[in-house]
Amino acid sequence: MNPQTRSSLFFLLACISLGIATARIINVESVYEPSLFKAYPNRGGGWPKETPTPSPTFGSNDRVRWATVRSLIEEGTFIIGERTNPQGTPNGKGGVDYGDVGIVFQDGYKSVDKVLHPETYKYYATKPPLLTVAVAGEYWLLHKIFKWDLRRDPWPVVSTVLITFNLIPITLILYLLARVLNEYQIDDWTALFVYCSACFGTFLTTFAITLNNHVPAAGCVALPVYFALRQKWTPLSLLLSGFCAGLAVSLDPPTAALAAASALLIFQHSPKGLIYYIPAVAVPIVAQTLINYHAYGIWKPIYATFGGPWYEFPGSHWEKLRWQERGLPKPEGIDFADEPKGVYLFHYTFGHHGLFSLTPIWLFAVAGFFLPSKLLNGVMRFVLLLVLGVVIGYFTIKTNNYGGWTCGPRPFFWFTFILLLGLIPAIQVLSQSRIGRILAILGLGVSVFSTFYCLNNPWRHPWILQLLESHGVLKY
């Protein structure tokens, strides 16, 4: 296949993938599923008694971000609610009324991902603030230019923002991958397989319809990895790599492992390159730290207060973590799974939230890092494998809820571009035999099935967990 024809095929596949994602973004809407509420009767307070307000937002994770965006533009503050009756008053229904008011308690913005300042009784989002501020900046422009208002015009605002912060990073990944496949003259079968995997077999396109930190973080990671792959460092590429690596850390903190790995690779090539790289990394991280202090009045990230009074206030979703200490039954739900770490690691890799069971192409990709390749030298393969191992180990030790309600292992989504690079040498080997090609195609088929299964709402359990639940094997 000549280079022009192959590039045209890449362009065609990218257009199809991005076209599907764009249609889903513009048509985004939260839908109540009878089957979900049959399995979880008490989820979100149960099936609504009245017709819910139409909304382009889904659940706690994205709604708390949008609540903060609204508050920043409408009220000039990160405060999204207030507790007016801290002592609480019995409400006659077996509960307590704390007088909670504010945006985060309004229909379409309700979320459990909020914290309560233990002294001022003001509510804030649990999310790192830099992304929220950037989204608020775009919303401000849309409001000034088109007079769009989130309360009156939620769809135009949300769709435009999602195209900016989700679709552009995905486009960047597809563009950089096409360049790699062409620059390194990867054979046609392997190149088309890997590019189809990028277009249709990753969870990035699944999450394109919801405001989240993982998709833009994946885009930020792709650029420094691409420059490290080429090893043609210039002051501009070093500055861009550093800034994107720092921005990725601000969006998805575990990417700090990759930022450090990139620094190591740059040092190996030219120690002087760190003069450009390190200050560029620091810019977004310092910006996030300053915004965090301005927003919350504390220097450490707000999510670092997990397990303390900011999270576990009376009536909080996270207060349930202390139920058993008080002699109460263990709360239901995946947020309170708390399984043995061996079981947790299994399910995060080969089980119901498995990186490799839901998307088997990544199992090929990891194998690809062990194969000799003109694409990745030995040092880079070792460093990237080490980073993946560190991240998997970190989330195994530090977390216990699989990222909550989510259709895939979202802590690892930012690794997508790296895994696509590892997939190349693996498919080159598999493509040499008929059995290998069949195995690769089956792996891609399962990956596509997993990423399309929750197409209408990515904040749902993966199909493997749903299958286990439906047969009574496992339920959190």
- For the chain, helix (H) and strand (E) counts, in that order, are 19, 6
Rounded to whole angstroms, the Cα distance separating 102 from 123 reads 9
pLDDT of the chain, 476 residues: tens digit per residue: 888 899 999 999 999 999 999 999 999 999 888 887 777 777 666 787 888 889 999 989 999 999 999 999 999 999 999 999 999 898 877 789 999 999 999 999 999 999 999 999 999 999 999 999 999 999 999 999 999 999 999 999 999 999 999 999 999 999 999 999 999 999 999 999 999 999 999 999 999 999 999 999 999 999 999 999 988 899 999 999 999 999 999 999 999 999 999 999 999 888 999 999 999 999 999 999 999 999 999 999 998 999 899 999 999 999 988 888 888 888 888 999 889 999 999 999 999 999 999 999 999 999 999 998 888 888 889 999 999 999 999 999 999 999 999 999 999 999 999 999 999 999 999 999 999 999 999 999 999 999 999 999 999 999 999 999 988 898 88
> Integer distance in angstroms from the first to the last C-alpha of the chain?
51
Helices (H), 153-273: 154-162, 168-183, 188-200, 203-206, 214-230, 235-251, 256-269
User: For the chain, what are the domain ranges?
Assistant: 3-56+173-470
User: Among 464, 205, 472, which residue's Cα sits nearest to residue 350?
Assistant: 464
pTM equals 0.95
Q: Which residues of 192-212 are buried (b: 16+ CB within 10 A; e: fewer)?
A: bbbbbbbbbbbbbbbbbbbbb
pLDDT of residue 314: 92
Rounded to whole angstroms, the Cα distance separating 365 from 421 reads 7
Rounded to whole angstroms, the Cα distance separating 290 from 449 reads 42
Rounded to whole angstroms, the Cα distance separating 399 from 353 reads 13
* Cα dihedral value 62, 63, 67, 70, nearest 10: 70
Sign of the C-alpha dihedral computed for residues 174, 178, 181 and 184 taken in this order: negative
User: Which residues on adjacent β-strands are paired with residue 122?
Assistant: 82
428: amino acid identity, one letter: Q
Close Cβ partners of 417 (under 8 Å, ≥ 6 residues apart): 173, 176, 177, 218, 221, 222, 225, 226
CB 348 within 8 A of CB 392: yes
Q: In this structure, how many other beta carbons lie within 10 angstroms of the beta carbon of residue 89?
A: 10
DSSP three-state, residue 90: strand
* Residue written as token pair 């598999």: 430
Close Cβ partners of 293 (under 8 Å, ≥ 6 residues apart): 299
pLDDT of residue 379: 85
Rounded to whole angstroms, the Cα distance separating 166 from 25 reads 10
Rounded to whole angstroms, the Cα distance separating 261 from 3 reads 33
pLDDT of residue 45: 66
Long-range contacts: 383-388, Cβ < 8 Å, 24+? Answer: 383/261, 383/264, 383/265, 384/261, 384/418, 384/421, 384/422, 386/261, 387/257, 387/258, 387/261, 387/418, 388/412, 388/415, 388/418
Percentages (nearest 5) of helix, strand, coil residues in the chain: 65, 5, 35
Close Cβ partners of 167 (under 8 Å, ≥ 6 residues apart): 18, 21, 22, 25, 208
Rounded to whole angstroms, the Cα distance separating 228 from 388 reads 17
pLDDT of residue 44: 65
